[in-house]
Structure 1
Amino acid sequence: MTAADTAPAPSFGAFVAASAAAGRLVVQPRMGFGDPGRMRAGLARTRAATAHTVGTLTVDSYTRVGDLAAARAAVAEDVPLNGYPIATHAPDTTRALLEGLHDDAFPVQVRHGSARPGTIIEALTAAGLTATEGGPVSYCLPYGRTPLRESVEAWARACELLAGTARPGTTPHLESFGGCLLGQLCPPGLLVATSVLECLFFAQYGLRSVSLSYAQQTDPGQDEEAVRALRRLAAEFLPAGVEHHVVLYTYMGVFPRTERGATRLLEASARLAVRSGAGRLIVKTAAEAHRIPTVEENVRALETAAAAAALAGPPEPAPTADGNGEVYEEARTLIETVLGLHPDISRALPAAFARGLLDVPFCLHPDNPGRSRGFIDPAGRLRWARTGAMPITADPAADATPLTADGLLTALHHVAGRYDDPWRPDDEEDGDGDGDGCDRPRAAPLTV
């Protein structure tokens, strides 16, 4: 056993907390390569970026679905993969990849997308990593046909395994993907509620450091309200002693096709993160609409986001109990309804979907009721057209404009069109064309 094997692993959540205390937004790419040398180079460039960064090791699609034979064959035959096959490469290979990069100044998170993450958790912990993401709902319903109860059972075991790696100076970290369900056209109340519920699930199975996610949606004001609601609800519901922060995702739906539009949207997400008090931002690049981005494009996105965040000024004060907004009330109702079904959240979550008390719009998974629908109202906010059996209210105005196939396509391209349009400011109310509702200068993209 080497000194590296016994040294404490960097604590992901503590790094983000310290950065927030210093007034720095942490920015993170979605980077993943099959070749260890290329993956190491990507991490090195991320660490060296002119930004406050953490690293990402994104897992390949074969490993995500448990097809390790295909992953091994690809590695043996030197076939390019769309991510790092962490369960195929030996732990020593991954440790060598991380050596000299992964430390207290640069923690690394493994991102994957698996409803059955046990093998991935075993591989990342064997390599000395302690931070990952996902969830029993958010990495099940939109991603495949794994039964929800099986995903819940698998994630319970995975959480216990990850929690068991805790050592003095090291706190394993798990991020909920619940605020990113389907990427778009899901009103924020359900996203916020799912993220809180998944983090409660993580805490039930031993995790003491978590992050709650939210994906940038169609309206800056509504997004800021949602992130503030998420922060407040996390403080209200998570057990004492559970360290947590909010991670914002740059828009995950159809991305602008022009570099100018993509950059404007990325900058808007960075400002949103700062204004709303998120601790971390996961970026997208100007190449997202066309192909998998290069390392250089990822670094450029990190630096552009960091520059925009630096110009955004200090974050607003923490949310208080005064003035409950629509997103807060809706999310709280959903959370309390689910928690009222059973004291064991691993039983409450499947029961909620079975009864239709949680219902993800446009999600075709067999365990999702499929009776809810979201729509974009004339002001650009995401609202409910139908709520099925969920204990929340649909917008009566939705009846006047039923959703058609053409209407769905228009809604899916709403954000991309807004930011790509050279003649239309992103928010006519603030006049600076950045869509953030604040009249401040925009950050220029940095040349890398």
Structure 2
Amino acid sequence: MTPASSDSSDSSESSGGSRGSAEAVGAPGTTSTGGFGGFVARAHARGALVVQPRMGFSDPRLMREGLERTRAAEAVTVGTLTLDSYTRVNDLAAAARAVAEGVRLNGYPICTHSPAVTRTVLDGVHADSFPVQVRHGSAQPEHIVAALLSVGLDATEGGPVSYCLPYSRTPLSEAVASWRTACRMLARAQGGGRVPHLESFGGCMLGQLCPPSMLVALSVLEGVFFARHGLRSVSLSYAQQTSAEQDREAVAALRALADELLPGIDRHLVVYAYMGVYPGSRAGALRLLEAAARLSVESGAARLIVKTAAEAHRIPTIADNVEALETAARAARGTVRRPEPPGTEPRSEVYEEARLLVHTVLALHEDVGEALLLAFRRGLLDIPFCLHPDNAGRARSFIDTDGRLRWSDTGRLPLTGSAVAAARKLTSADLLTALTQVQRTYDPGGPR
């Protein structure tokens, strides 16, 4: 079955007039770099939020148009090549047939188009002032990493857990082995001014209904995995959830744990606009995106992955994505970062839980990949509602009356009894209500 095709004009990114120059400055305690991480660091140092769409087309001309219009948007942006489903699962024969027959895929088939074709897509667009990241969703990405390196790209994302459990039936052990290889491939490309960058998708597990402490822990653990395999520039992710206050605590926890465990590594934090059921109304969708932009700035994140007003209805056009980029950029410019709490202030519940999860896993084995495998095998890491065979499936979560995501059952997670909130057993109706809470909040008639 052919993957759903992309609309004839999907997403776009740009920098517009605000893409000024600045000295390369890393996050506190990190080293300065060039490349993708260096561009984001420079923008962050001058107070600009980098905004980025999800964008991928099988037609090289349309892919180039999307990049060009992204770059021209009134925002500080980076480019995206999102790959198609066949390439993601390494079914390159199917991708080749689709391209030969003129079938539109749901992304750019970087392993099927020749390097010369992809260089034509990138020529004159991809630059130090407009870096491009490859996004793909593959549990076994060696073929993708080889292809992106061959055309002069060196920024991508994913991870051994975050691109395995929610996306595939690949055994976790195979995903860990593949991501070891992929990290080493990227690390070997370092030098001569080239600084490969890898973003953890760990903060986005299943997109919704995963308590923030688990998202933070997985993102940090994947960041440590990347660093241990030679990467010197990484980003850690977090997906907007159901409580703005809890989200700010989560991003602060992510930063604090990164400071503790990734010294000397160029790094930044990236927020994803809400990844669950999106508002059906245009006004509601844009309000939710604006909230994500404010969260990013207030919490000190450097980059935001946007969603569009069309998400609930169809594949977004390039124009939809330009609108999303510019809407987020305007909201960001009208927001100021919240001051850091005093160092003596007690850490949040999210931080304490995430720190316990991270250090419990790291203590299992000196090899982070082996530690991750042991943790999932023993249920010390467990993703609510994830059906992958290597996930224990005992942990459960719910949305509390204050809007926070909490544990209703921690299974064998190494958390204290206080982590489990008093909650009745979750029914299918309760789950449906939870899944649509954000949509109902932001659509007309919902709470303001």
Q: Normalising by the residue count of structure 2, what TM-score does the alignment of the two structures yield?
A: 0.91
Q: 1:60 aligns with which of 84, 94, 102?
A: 84
Does the 8 A contact of 2:300 with 2:337 survive in 1? Answer: no
Deviates more, 1:72-81 or 1:10-19: 10-19
Amino acid at match of 2:145: I
1:315 Cα deviation from its structure 2 partner: 5.0
1:71-150 paired onto structure 2 within 5 Å = 71-150=95-174
1:357-376 paired onto structure 2 within 5 Å = 357-376=380-399
**What SS is found at the alignment partner of 2:76?**
coil
Q: Which residue pairs with 1:431 in the alignment?
A: none
Residue 406 and residue 125 in structure 1: after superposition, are their counterparts in 2 closer, same or farther (change >3 A)?
same
1:346 Cα deviation from its structure 2 partner: 1.3
Deviations 1:106-164 (A, max 9, x none): 00000000000000000000010000000000000011110000000000000000111
1:154-233 paired onto structure 2 within 5 Å = 154-233=178-257
Deviates more, 1:392-401 or 1:162-171: 392-401
RMSD over aligned CA atoms reads 1.4
Q: Determine what percentage of the aligned residue pairs are the same residue.
A: 63
Amino acid at match of 1:69: A
Q: 1:297 aligns with which of 305, 313, 320?
A: 320
Does the 8 A contact of 1:374 with 1:385 survive in 2? Answer: yes
Does the 8 A contact of 1:15 with 1:105 survive in 2? Answer: yes
Deviations 1:287-329 (A, max 9, x none): 0011110000000000000000000124534884632110000
Residue 208 and residue 10 in structure 1: after superposition, are their counterparts in 2 closer, same or farther (change >3 A)?
closer
Q: 1:352 aligns with which of 344, 368, 375?
A: 375
Q: Which residue pairs with 1:433 in the alignment?
A: none
Deviations 1:84-119 (A, max 9, x none): 000101111111100111011100000000000000
Does the 8 A contact of 2:159 with 2:200 survive in 1? Answer: yes
1:36 matches 2:60:
yes
Between the aligned partners of 1:89 and 1:394, the Cα distance in structure 2 is 53
Between the aligned partners of 1:140 and 1:330, the Cα distance in structure 2 is 23
Between the aligned partners of 1:265 and 1:333, the Cα distance in structure 2 is 31
Amino acid at match of 1:402: K
Between the aligned partners of 1:28 and 1:364, the Cα distance in structure 2 is 30
**What SS is found at the alignment partner of 1:232?**
helix
Deviations 1:402-432 (A, max 9, x none): 100000000000001000033521xxxxxxx
1:168 Cα deviation from its structure 2 partner: 2.4
Q: 1:316 aligns with which of 312, 324, 339?
A: 339
1:167 Cα deviation from its structure 2 partner: 1.8
Gaps of 5+ in 1: 1-8, 426-448
Q: 2:264 aligns with which of 223, 229, 241?
A: 241
Between the aligned partners of 2:128 and 2:255, the Cα distance in structure 1 is 25
Residue 423 and residue 349 in structure 1: after superposition, are their counterparts in 2 closer, same or farther (change >3 A)?
closer
**What SS is found at the alignment partner of 2:407?**
strand
Q: Which residue pairs with 2:9 in the alignment?
A: none
**What SS is found at the alignment partner of 2:97?**
helix
Between the aligned partners of 1:99 and 1:396, the Cα distance in structure 2 is 52
**What SS is found at the alignment partner of 1:383?**
strand
1:335 matches 2:358:
yes
Residue 218 and residue 164 in structure 1: after superposition, are their counterparts in 2 closer, same or farther (change >3 A)?
same
Amino acid at match of 1:247: V
1:306 matches 2:334:
no
1:251 matches 2:274:
yes
Does the 8 A contact of 2:281 with 2:444 survive in 1? Answer: no
Does the 8 A contact of 2:137 with 2:163 survive in 1? Answer: yes
Amino acid at match of 2:160: P
Does the 8 A contact of 1:270 with 1:281 survive in 2? Answer: yes
Between the aligned partners of 2:419 and 2:36, the Cα distance in structure 1 is 44
Does the 8 A contact of 1:135 with 1:155 survive in 2? Answer: yes
Between the aligned partners of 2:196 and 2:122, the Cα distance in structure 1 is 17
Between the aligned partners of 1:30 and 1:130, the Cα distance in structure 2 is 17
Number of aligned residue pairs: 416
Does the 8 A contact of 1:23 with 1:314 survive in 2? Answer: no
Residue 400 and residue 127 in structure 1: after superposition, are their counterparts in 2 closer, same or farther (change >3 A)?
closer
Between the aligned partners of 1:397 and 1:110, the Cα distance in structure 2 is 38
Gaps of 5+ in 2: 1-32
Between the aligned partners of 1:398 and 1:329, the Cα distance in structure 2 is 16
Between the aligned partners of 2:111 and 2:149, the Cα distance in structure 1 is 11
Between the aligned partners of 1:318 and 1:243, the Cα distance in structure 2 is 23
Deviations 1:15-37 (A, max 9, x none): 01000000000000001000000
**What SS is found at the alignment partner of 1:301?**
helix
Residue 423 and residue 358 in structure 1: after superposition, are their counterparts in 2 closer, same or farther (change >3 A)?
closer
**What SS is found at the alignment partner of 1:42?**
helix
Residue 284 and residue 422 in structure 1: after superposition, are their counterparts in 2 closer, same or farther (change >3 A)?
same
Between the aligned partners of 1:112 and 1:21, the Cα distance in structure 2 is 29
1:43 Cα deviation from its structure 2 partner: 0.3
